[in-house]
Copies of this chain bind each other. A is one copy, B any other.
Amino acid sequence: MAVAFSPSSTVTACALRGGASLLGSCFLVLRSRRAGRLQSAVTTRRSRTWCAVIVGSTAVPEASAEEGRHGRRSSEQLALPPELVDELVEEALVWCSQHGLIVGDKNHPRSGKAPGVGLLHAPFSLLPMSFPKFYWDQALELAPLFNELVDRVSLDGEFLQQTLARTKEVDLFTKRLLDIHSEMMELKKEEEIRLGLTRSDYMVDGETGLLLQVELNTISTSSNGLACGVSELHRNLVRMHERELGLDQASVLGNTAITQHAGALARAWAEYNNPRNGCPVALVYFRAGYSPIDYPSEAEWRARTLIERSSAIKCPSISYHLVGTKKIQQELAKEYVLDRFFDNKGDIKKVRQCFAGLWNLENDSIVMSAIESPELFVLKPQREGGGNNIYGDNLHETLVRLRKDGGNELAAYILMQRIFPPASPCYLVREGKCAKENAVSEFGVFGAYLRNKDKVIINDQCGYLMRTKAAALNEGGVVSGYAFLNSIFLT
Contacts and interface: CB of A to CB of B under 8 A. Distances in A.
Interface of A: 1-3, 5, 9-11, 14-28, 30, 32, 39, 42-43, 45-58, 90, 92-94, 96-100, 102-105, 110, 112-122, 222-226, 228-229, 256, 258-267, 269-270, 272-273, 276-289, 294, 296, 299-300, 303, 306-307, 312, 431-432, 448, 458, 460, 462, 478-479
A90 to B, nearest CB: 6
Given A24-B112, A223-B20, A120 B119 contact: yes
B119 A57 contact: no
A300 B116 contact: no
Given A14-B266, A48-B288, A54-B284, A20 B225 contact: yes
A47 B115 contact: yes
Given A100-B97, A284-B54, A22 B432 contact: no
A432 B117 contact: yes
B23 A56 contact: no
B120 A285 contact: no
A265 B16 contact: yes
A58 B277 CA distance: 10
27 contacts: A1-B458, A2-B259, A2-B260, A3-B263, A3-B264, A10-B273, A16-B258, A16-B265, A18-B226, A21-B104, A21-B226, A22-B103, A22-B115, A26-B287, A28-B262, A28-B287, A50-B288, A51-B284, A51-B286, A54-B269, A54-B284, A55-B282, A56-B282, A92-B116, A94-B116, A115-B432, A118-B120
B22 A119 contact: yes
Given A22-B103, A25-B288, A51-B289, 18 more contacts: A9-B266, A16-B258, A20-B222, A21-B122, A23-B115, A26-B225, A27-B285, A51-B284, A52-B284, A54-B281, A56-B273, A56-B277, A58-B280, A90-B115, A97-B100, A100-B100, A102-B119, A118-B120
A47 to B, nearest CB: 6
Contacts of A281: 39, 53-56
A98 B226 CA distance: 10
A287 B54 contact: no
A120 B120 contact: no
Given A50-B289, A54-B284, A258 B43 contact: no
Sorted nearest first, the 8 A-B pairs with minimum C-beta distance are A18-B225, A3-B263, A93-B116, A116-B121, A98-B100, A114-B432, A119-B119, A16-B262
A90 B116 CA distance: 8
Contacts of A283: 30, 54
Contacts of A282: 30, 54-56
A9 B270 CA distance: 10
B432 A55 contact: no
Contacts of A114: 47, 93, 432
Nearest to A27: B287
A103 B479 contact: no
Given A50-B287, A112-B47, A121-B116, A228 B18 contact: yes
B47 A113 contact: yes
Contacts of A277: 56-57
Contact of A225 (B16, B57, B90, B228): B16
B263 A103 contact: no
A48 B54 CA distance: 46
Contact of A51 (B28, B115, B264, B307): B307
A62 B334 CA distance: 58
A260 B119 contact: no
Contacts of A294: 50
A307 B225 contact: no
Contacts of A285: 27-28, 51-52, 54
Which of A43, A94, A99, A312 lies at the interface centre, i.e. has the most chain B CB atoms within 10 A of its CB?
Answer: A43
Contacts of A256: 2
A116 B112 contact: no
A415 to B, nearest CB: 29
A111 to B, nearest CB: 9
